[in-house]
Structure 1
Amino acid sequence: MKAITELRPEWHSDDDTKGKIKVVMTGSASDPHDWQPHIRNKERRELIARRFKDPDDELELVIVRDMWLTGFDAPPLHTMYIDKPMNGHTLMQAIARVNRVFRDKPGGLVVDYLGIADSLKHALAVYAESGGRGKAAVDQEEAVAVMKEKYEVVQGILHGFDYRRLLHASPDERLQGIADAMEFILQQEDGKKRYLQAVAALSKAFALAVPHEEALAIRDEVGLFQEIRASLIKATVSSAERPPEEIEAAVRQLISRAISGREVVDIFAAAGLDRPDISILSDEFLAEVRALPQKNLAVETLKKLLQDEIRVRFRKNVVQSRAFSELLEAALRKYHNRAIAAAEVIEELIALAREMREAQRRGEKLGLSEEEAAFYDALAANESAVQVLGDETLKQIAQELVERVRRSVTVDWSKRESARAKLRVLVKRILRKYGYPPDKQEQATELVLAQTEVLCNE
């Protein structure tokens, strides 16, 4: 450890909760002085073990002496360096530490400093005879063959696109080139799905083939393929986990580079805004999307943003959420069926974005709260009711519904049929009070009940 930390002093820490490298060993007070910092009690050893099993912890390397074999399980562990003789069951237990399936990890790497191949073959024979299933080890040449096959598949998807020019390009040129690569992939039939799967398979095979010279020869290309894959996921896959302002910043910067090619400036930071309340559906932003030269990428970006807008902005509004989801699906269906070109669907999606923006503002114009606007939309879904009663009466009904529902609903109302029945009677009574068209009362009641469930879940 001393030799390693002399080369990497920033890895060391005397604190058990910090540092990238530790030693785990048994010992006593009679051991040499420089061993003492590494001789810990059971509680301190368990703390390091918990850190090592945590894939998000900074601890990356542990030097182990006669420890962590029986019963130790660390699925994220991917590499083991062996510098002591082992055989039989002990050797199989050691290898099992790195050969566990975990996330995208395809297998583990054992670096042999002693020449334990014969012991490993014997241990594997015992493993097979005792009923072990699957392959405990993968021949590297076999992994290289699979890697080359998957490499050719990715190359086939990118055939006709000069991706190699990006390997030594400047950061600006590389980012622009990645956007062009994404556009090239999205133009193909089922291109995104095939590319994501192909690069994932290549990455797993590459991890097993390293450090073979054929794997190292394509390392930079595999890195570029993975970068394109990550960008494709970020730009086209709806991100329920990420906050909307993070999406806005990332997409605006991507578009800024694509249009001008100039150095990216974080417009939020420049304006002094930490958590900006800027709509992703502004006219300025939609104009930038329309100007993107990569039309298929623009479609995918708009699709993701509209899906997130519907999920975030209309989560409390049953009617609007359903309506805009159906309109978005219909537009995308025509695009995927090649019924309309990318440029045409962009115009449809921009028009849909503006409709969504106006729908958000309608409640404000009517002087309604977000909850009241949602109930108003449930009532106004019936056009004849709008014609007969008008906006003012529907507003009054919506306001009274919100007030009465809040007073009447119990926490578990949606699970109790008796509570739902009482609420149904309450809603119908209010609708009759204001003269809501009788032939539409049942439909309106169902919508109001659905809206009530959303309100209660909030």
Structure 2
Amino acid sequence: MKKVAAYHQYYAVNAAVQSTLRAAGHTPAEVAAATPPTGRGYGRGTPPPALAHEAPETYGVPGVSAQPFGDRKGGVVWHTQGSPKSLSMVFYTGKIVQALDNPTVVVITDRNDLDDQLFDTFAACTQLLRQEPKQVESREQLKELLRVASGGVVFSTIQKFQPEEGNVYEELSARRNIIVIADEAHRTQYGFKAKEVDVKEEGQVIGKRTVYGFAKYLRDALPQATYLGFTGTPIEQTDVNTPAVFGNYIDIYDIAQAVEDGATVRIYYESRLAKVSLSEEGKKLVADLDEELDADDLTNTQKAKAKWTQLEALIGSERRIATIAADVVAHFEQRQEVFEGKGMIVAMSRRIAAELYAAIIALRPAWHSSDLTQGKLKVVMTSASTDGPSIAKHHTTKEQRRALAERMKDPADELQLVIVRDMWLTGFDAPSMHTLYIDKPMQGHNLMQAIARVNRVYKDKPGGLVVDYLGIASDLKKALSFYSDAGGKGDPAVAQKQAVALMAEKLEVVQALYHGFGYDSSYDAATSTKLSMILAAEEHILGLPDGKKRYINEVTALSQAFAGFFLQTGGFTR
């Protein structure tokens, strides 16, 4: 199978190669000779009209064109989720390997499941890379793979750069032809900032120690490397870490562009909070967490942990889980009648995930199978040794999760619904997935990445739907606010009532194309009469100026708006 770059990928990859060469200290002439024109300067002039593209500066954000040569900051490529970013990274690596004469490329993620997903994508493209990528399993292997004279595509999680003791990571290589690519480069762990953490012994805090952001440890290990970031969500204006480590934007491909180009589908939002009971105490806890904490801090403070524990108990009450299970079953089955595909449920904890599975299976026993290769519903998570048997039975190994991922990506496989806590919320790509059920506090980048699980293009799938059981509407508004402030265009999600209004508008446009054609009588007509009227309707449309094209365009737009509806018993949302 061949993978062909879309135009936004072609343009961004060439711009990223240019910027990398600039950041690595190559002269303007060398940069110009190594890459095709992109219109970003560096002595190449403007691109031909077919290659016209909006630079980051047109979004009101700084670009890399003003950065100095040799600053080791390659820049950031912001391509909205589903564009697809992972393939852009593959294309970039394939080109930079040639442009820099066999460099070492280090691909960094911050979670094992993301590392696995991205590695699998690269491993399937060895012909383009001209080598087999290596996935690091230990700190010792990391050191071995980076202490080489040249070459190599190395995958590692950022945590493997944590020094075993002290605050300085040993230097692994001072070579200048090393490129560090960070996936989701906006995250705080890529910063330099120092902070104090508890030192524990047998569960008791016995002191404090100072640790630094992983950007420092990366610089310790690879002091002359050039750093490049890829992200599916924008850099917040208050974020000083990302520009300090990676530089400014290389290229931007936002939601509006992706939807317009057909690279992604629109995402619709539906609140079903009214269908599920959540006490006033629970609503207050959700609000408090939103006000006081960023998503990345939820597990880092004792205060947050206490509130999280309280909220988990309320959200995971037996009665509420039973209600959620019944609503998900009814809702998903109705969705399947409209467009058959896949769904994902995001639970707050492993306990809730396991109990929700049991509640759904109690309603639909046929969905269960103890065989990993069978069954319509699965839980995707790991378990700890302290977890009870009801949770432990859902534990999956890396290979088992890989097998489940393949099943989920296969539209013909009977696996249609998965329950997750943290896994598969970023980087997981199952194009036929059309519905995401959220019953977990989420915000910011994490929320935007999660909802993008349903924005992939698949056959005639007109849109994805995010179902809210916890009242995350305000968090979506905040996410949209920082998205817009960062220069992004297009809404991450469209409220369902807006979709209803849009569908009514598009229906009126299609009806207007039939002005003068009496189609009302066809509703109660005999089958033979209906067939005759269909032929007459075709003649009517073809008789309009540019009628065929206009009709196809408007009916397509109507079909896409239809995806914003949730079909209830007997018809449309009322």
TM-score (norm 1): 0.41
Q: Which has the higher strand share?
A: 2
Larger Rg: 1
Kindly indicate which of the two structures has a greater share of residues assigned to helix: 1
Higher relative contact order (CA 8 A, sep 6+): 2
